[in-house]
Chain A
Amino acid sequence: MRPWLVFKLLLHPIRLAQARIDAWVMSRVKRQPGPIPVPRTRVYIVPTRFGYGYAFMGLVMLLGSMNYSNSMGFLLTFLLGALGLVCMHHTHGNLVNVQLRSGKAPPVFAGEVAHFEILVDNPAPAQRYSFSLAWPKDSQPPVMTDVPAQGTATLRIALPAERRGWLPARVFSLSTEFPLGLFHAWTWAELDTACLVYPKPAAAGRMPPPASGAIGQMPSNIAGQDEFAGLRNYHRGDPMKSVHWKSLPKSPSAPMVKQFTELLDQELWLEWDALGDLDLESRLSQLTRWVLDMEDRQHAYGLRLPGVLLKPGRGEIHQNDCLRALALYKPG
């Protein structure tokens, strides 16, 4: 048997006890909208591996000093011991009395990584150092930051978004080992925040069915931003970016403005029913792809799902509405 396996077996009861303790601690964590204060009673602290090594070293040094009856050796040993204890208070104090709030969690597509913003407030007059934020049992390195005195630090913590819908933030730990790395102080918190996960867009390729009653595209007379339609004289209030700078040196007193017309589809509907050959998630994926494509091409589009109807439109807000409807769609 390999030695590490023996070691692991020996540690098994300890790990079991640890799991029980963890479960008990976790059950005390309540999901809260925030801000979540971190009082003394919610800060846990244990020695790190380096801390155990330090203690062992102190013991060896103590035995050495006893053996040689070396007074300076005793002084050094006791100083290291006292430093360790003072460090424990430092590490603990570093974490006590902060406040946790949730920040933004911008929507992502399924299969991407969601980023939750977590704000750490430090209402105290002393700066705090080396906070790290992580989900429990997560292999990726934690995100770390300092928090200035009476200030706020923003930490962004990543969570893979696997499925569409709301992705709630999990319980996370805020921890610190500052200043000496001998102790690990942490607190568990669960902020009532979630990230919206849009369906994963299907692979490009399939085109939306032609819109009902719309054959081709007709230029409308509504001034828009899509297609260049000529120049006209400048009026007060025209946006800077529409000024035709090239012609400005020729007639500096009368600047010209580029004019565009908007292309307007006639009623391009993205239809749930048009995708009868696919299963539910694939349909949503395909619709998501179309929404993105249409937005890309500056088409106006509407979305029709069972029980959901979004009138044709364009722009970021409209797109987000559509994606949101797709993300949160519940059949029947």
Chain B
Amino acid sequence: MKAATLSDYLNQVSLLRLIAVLALVLVVHLPSLPTWEAVLVVAGLGWRLLIALRQWQLPPAWLRTSIAVLSLVGIYASYGRIHGQVPGIALLMIMSVLKLLEMRSRRDVMVTVFLMYFILLTHFLNSQEIWTAGYLLVCASAITALLIDVNHPGEALPLKKILASGSKMVAISLPVTLLFFLLFPRIPGPLWGIPSDAGASLTGMSNEMAPGDISNLIMSDRHAFSVKFFDREPPPRERYWRGPVFDSFDGRAWKSSGISQRVQTPDVELLPPAVRYEIIVEPHRGPWMFALDIPDPATRPDKSFIASEYQLMKGRDVITRELHVLISHPNHILQKELPDLTRRVNLSLPRDFNPRTVALARQLQAEHATPEAIVQATLRMFRQEPFVYTLQPPPLGRNSVDDFLFKTRRGFCEHYSSAFTFLMRAAGIPTRVVTGYQGGERNELGDFFRVTDADAHAWSEVWLEGKGWVRVDPTAAVAPNRIELGLSEAMQDSGELPSFLQRGGLNWIRDNLTTQWDWMNTQWNRWVLAYGPEVQMDLMRRIGIEDWRGMIIALTVSASLILGIIGLLLLRQFTPARNQEVAVRLWAQLQKRLLRAGIAQRPAEGAGSFADRVALETPELGDAVRRAATIYQQLRYLEGATPALQEELARAIKAIRS
């Protein structure tokens, strides 16, 4: 069926509405665009507005083409490429504005509507906060209202009317939307790979630990992950979230040696108690999942693995919020037998660095018999010597560990773990640096812990005969409060904390509000954003659906049911009110019967004269129709509308057979 053409002229009112809706869709993207493009987009909208209001000419084709070409060049200049997610969004915005500049007819509106939906979608690649849900509904209602307006020919419908109808349609669609959201089988992405620039441009832990990396990290308030413990909540000193592990030192930065690829997952002996918890990891452009301490490999989620240093890792970067339920064991024996290769790597040091530290290590080796004693002695040194825990350490020279241990003695967790690891290796104890998070702030409302980049931490692991890898946190020796109470408590009086970590004054109210906001955000993350294949399957099992086939059946049945109800309710709106009088309804039946025989009562004809005409034209029906007409007249115009008489009329009508 060919679509009927609407009168193609787009009136001014509809055009102004279109510009308004497009502006609504574009506005949230403006801050992330390069300045020149934001200006161009705003100017384009303004220009089209003036064209509509002042009846100016639309720009000629050559001008539009040049704007398009120049924008393409501009985007290439700004991003260095024209493919990929960010330049793609920038292109989409330019296209929508250019389309607007050549718009005359209703047909063009349809193309713009498609563009608007896509622009709306791309917004969620950058941000999926709670407010975006409201924004989604507002935009969808506005675009729907626009479509309603455009599909009405001639004069534009009143604004209030189309907005009301648009929001009503969106509201009616919501139940089905939610059903699809819950029941549509989710498959673990990605389908074809994700551009390298996808996702929010927030980064957390990095692939190496150079001086200053972690102290930079803690200055950001980025939410790293939230955790909810199910039964047993470990004390702060046990809450170490394992991230990147570094076993190679080049004198300046700690990195990961290449052996991870060649060494299999180490054996581990898990000891009670088990800690079961749910973790929602925020996207952070790294593969680490930040499990608590040593996770049970059996609870490892799909598409993840346990690396050679026992970090739980994803096969790719975490670029979407992910929810997982894991079990960890704070008590464990990790890698009882140390392979030669691993031992060599974890003892290796760069040549000709930190001679004083190496000398100190020799001395410790001579004084103490066992590795345990060397570790204890070193920690005692950190505790007793005037070491200071500070976020603003003085700069260090080439022999950074020497400078730190013997000169400045002021540093941050990365300095302590780095120096400790170096010292231990020099003393012949296999040691490595572990980075990740430590602690986390409890949210009183939601009974969960919120871990931010401010909780980023670095510690060490030493390998001891019979005990495997054992965590040693030299920072705890210097600043026990950092471990027990968290960074903000430990550093409250130092004046070095970023403002969001400072207490007192108005901050108390802010903290309270923050708690509630955090709680809401966590619920949002938990139920909406982290709703992926695993959470879905978990929920489905709880309501008795075992596989995706069951989900599809449940989805089809329930969606059809709801749509059926919606259809019936809508139809009722379009159904004439039932006439209250029985006789009128019965007479309508008679009319229907006779219409099948091609006999129609004329508008000006009463029941009696109609019956007379039927008798004249179709004598074989005459008597029956006359009889029915008599009873009908009696029922309607004389007294005594008894049920008996009504039944008689019904019988008389049934007796009419054409």
Contact = CB atoms under 8 A, between A and B. Distances in A.
Interface of A: 32-35, 40, 44, 46, 48-50, 53-54, 57, 61, 63-83, 85-87, 89-90, 92-94, 96-97, 123-126, 128-130, 132, 134, 141-142, 144, 146, 175, 177-181, 184, 186
B570 interface: yes
B140 A83 contact: yes
Contacts of A89: 563, 566-567, 570-571
Contacts of B575: 96-97, 124
B574 A126 contact: yes
Interface string B174-218: 111100110010111111111000110000000000000000000
Interface string B137-157: 000100010011011111000
B58 interface: no
A82 B576 contact: no
Contact of B320 (A40, A70, A124, A186): A70
A69 B6 CA distance: 39
A66 B532 CA distance: 10
Contact of B600 (A34, A94, A144, A146): A34
B118, B176, B574, most chain A CB atoms within 10 A: B574
A68 B123 CA distance: 13
A83 to B, nearest CB: 5
Nearest to B3: A48
Contacts of A68: 125, 189-190, 194, 198-199, 319-320
Interface string B521-540: 00000001111100000000
A30 to B, nearest CB: 9
Nearest to A64: B121
Nearest to A128: B574
B169 A124 contact: no
A154 B18 CA distance: 31
A134 B2 CA distance: 12
Contact of A53 (B114, B132, B148): B114
B50 interface: no
A86 B169 contact: yes
5 contacts: A72-B133, A73-B124, A74-B181, A75-B181, A180-B151
A76 B180 CA distance: 11
Given A64-B121, A142-B4, A85 B176 contact: yes
Contacts of A67: 189-194
Contacts of A146: 152
A95 to B, nearest CB: 8
A212 B136 CA distance: 87
Given A48-B3, A75-B177, 13 more contacts: A53-B114, A57-B117, A66-B191, A68-B199, A71-B529, A73-B124, A76-B120, A76-B136, A79-B170, A96-B571, A97-B574, A125-B576, A132-B4
B573 interface: yes
B140 A76 contact: yes
B152 A125 contact: no
A53 B110 contact: yes
Contacts of B577: 124-125
B173 interface: yes
A49, A67, A126, A179, most chain B CB atoms within 10 A: A179
Contacts of A48: 3
Contact of A175 (B4, B563, B570): B4
A181 B147 contact: yes
B172 interface: yes
A25 to B, nearest CB: 10
A57 B571 CA distance: 29
B165 A179 contact: yes
Contacts of B170: 79, 83
A178 B117 contact: no
A40, A53, A93, A177, most chain B CB atoms within 10 A: A93
A108 to B, nearest CB: 25
B128 interface: yes
A85 B563 contact: yes
B600 A32 contact: yes
Contact of B3 (A35, A49, A75): A49
B551 to A, nearest CB: 14
A211 to B, nearest CB: 43
A85 B564 CA distance: 11
Given A50-B3, A57-B114, A93-B573, A82 B176 contact: yes
A53 B118 CA distance: 13
A65 B600 CA distance: 57
B595 interface: yes
Interface residues of B, number: 71
Contact of A129 (B124, B152, B192): B152
Contacts of A33: 598, 600
A82 B121 CA distance: 16
Contacts of A83: 140, 144, 169-170, 173
Interface in B1-46: 1, 3-7
B265 to A, nearest CB: 26
A70 B576 contact: no
A193 B649 CA distance: 33
A71 B531 contact: yes
B153 A130 contact: yes
A69 B152 contact: no
Contacts of B5: 141-142
Contacts of A81: 176-177, 180
A180 B148 contact: yes
Contact of B570 (A50, A54, A90): A90
A128 B190 CA distance: 45
Contacts of A132: 4
B401 to A, nearest CB: 43
Contact of B574 (A124, A134, A180): A124
B124 A82 contact: no
Nearest to A77: B121
A129 B151 CA distance: 9
Contacts of A124: 573-577
B387 to A, nearest CB: 45
Contacts of B177: 75, 78-79, 81-82
A69 B151 contact: no
Contacts of A61: 117-118, 121
A69 to B, nearest CB: 4
A85 B561 CA distance: 13
Given A76-B121, A79-B140, A86 B189 contact: no
A125 B566 CA distance: 17
A216 B176 CA distance: 86
Given A40-B571, A86-B173, A177 B3 contact: yes
A48 B600 CA distance: 36
B152 A134 contact: no
A46 B1 contact: yes
A134 B532 contact: no
B519 to A, nearest CB: 19
A48 B3 CA distance: 6
A72 B151 contact: no
Contact of B136 (A66, A69, A79, A141): A79
B169 A66 contact: no
Contacts of B181: 74-75, 78
Given A66-B189, A70-B320, A79-B136, A86 B180 contact: no
B124 A76 contact: yes
Contacts of A186: 1
Contacts of B133: 72, 75
A181 B175 CA distance: 22
Contacts of B191: 63, 66-67
Interface in B435-463: none
Nearest to A84: B173
Contacts of B120: 76
B3 A82 contact: no
Closest 7 CB pairs of A and B: A123-B576, A82-B173, A72-B124, A82-B176, A78-B180, A69-B189, A93-B570
A63 B6 CA distance: 32
Given A53-B110, A93-B570, A79 B117 contact: no
B254 to A, nearest CB: 32
